[in-house]
């Protein structure tokens, strides 16, 4: 994985403008991960994909996250802060993961894999789902095989407690797939968990960065006659200094 320069980021932003959020996340990770082809990127577990997005965010805009949430009790808007470095907690390494993808529960032996972006895309595309994905449907897709007392089980008929246990196991193995932060409302002291979605958050930031950057290019090109490429090749510091001189 490597950082994206301003030209590359602007290209991804432009290509992603008319894409759904899932596709934007994959395009960003693919652009920053030349070692992976598109198929491998779609097969990264959700947590691994999001760890890459957090890393990219850190390279582009730093590690400090400022976010807003709304108190579910009194509707107060609550600002919260975090660090990407706190979120990118250690996940299991690939060698140990292969062994970990087996679970024995209530006499059932399950072999499974971790949910990935391909699963989400496939579930979202089903007309009956109307573009949303239920966590349980995602878990069911990830069971590769199930045996009980030496016999193969019907995957569609696994009991709910078995699926619940599997869901917990997947959560342990891929903790970044769902990032939650506990917040306390300063108005009413209500405590709740707010979910943090790095792909949506990062895209909003990239969008405002791209708009700022295009405005800078417009002003500098007008003032100095430089091309877009020349302006993008300036370091952010130099670009900012020239912009300061133009506005004087």
User: Which residues from 54-83 bind Zn ion, rule CB under 5 A?
Assistant: 71, 73-74, 76
Choice from 38, 188, 214, 241 touching Zn ion (CB under 5 A): 188
Q: Does 194 bind Zn ion (CB under 5 A)?
A: no
Q: Does 180 bind Zn ion (CB under 5 A)?
A: no
Burial string for 141-153 (b: 16+ CB within 10 Å, else e) reads: bbbeebeeeeeeb
Residue 71 or 123 having the CB closest to Zn ion: 71
Q: Which tokens is 146 given? A: 């199930």
- Kindly write out the interface string for residues 109-148 of this chain, putting x where it contacts Zn ion by CB under 5 A and - elsewhere: ----------------------------------------
Could you say whether residue 193 binds Zn ion (CB under 5 A)? no
Count CA atoms closer than 13 A to 214's CA, side-chain side. Answer: 10
Q: Using CB under 5 A, which of 164, 187, 211, 230 touches Zn ion? A: 187
Cβ atoms of residues 139 and 176 within 8 Å: no
- Residues in contact with Zn ion, counted by CB under 5 A, come to a total of 8
Strand segments, DSSP code E, in 29-174 are: 64-70, 77-83, 102-105, 108-112, 143-148, 151-152
How far apart CA 173 and CA 114 sit, in angstroms, is 8
Q: Which residues contact Zn ion by CB under 5 A?
A: 71, 73-74, 76, 185, 187-188, 190
């Amino acid at each position: 994985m490597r950082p994206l320069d301003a030209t590359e980021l602007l290209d991804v932003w432009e290509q992603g403008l008319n894409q759904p959020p899932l596709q934007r996340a994959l395009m960003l990770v693919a652009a920053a991960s030349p070692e992976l082809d598109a198929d491998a990127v779609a097969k990264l577990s959700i947590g691994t994909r999001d760890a890459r997005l957090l890393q990219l965010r850190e390279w582009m805009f730093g590690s400090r996250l400022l976010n807003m949430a709304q108190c579910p009790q009194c509707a107060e808007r609550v600002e919260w802060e975090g660090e990407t470095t706190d979120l990118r907690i250690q996940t299991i390494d690939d060698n140990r993961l292969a062994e970990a993808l087996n679970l024995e529960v209530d006499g059932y032996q399950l072999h499974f894999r971790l949910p990935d972006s391909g699963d989400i895309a496939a579930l979202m595309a089903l007309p009956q789902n109307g573009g949303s994905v239920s966590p349980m449907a995602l878990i069911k897709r990830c069971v590769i095989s199930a045996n009980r007392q030496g016999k193969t089980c019907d995957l569609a008929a696994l009991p709910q407690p078995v699926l619940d246990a599997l869901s917990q196991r997947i959560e342990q193995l891929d903790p970044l797939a769902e990032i939650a932060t506990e917040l306390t409302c300063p108005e009413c002291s209500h405590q709740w968990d707010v979910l943090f979605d790095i792909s949506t958050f990062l895209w909003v930031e990239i969008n405002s960065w791209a708009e700022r950057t295009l405005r800078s290019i417009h002003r500098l090109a007008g003032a100095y006659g430089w091309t877009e490429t020349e302006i993008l090749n300036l370091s952010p510091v130099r670009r900012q200094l020239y912009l300061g001189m133009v506005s004087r």
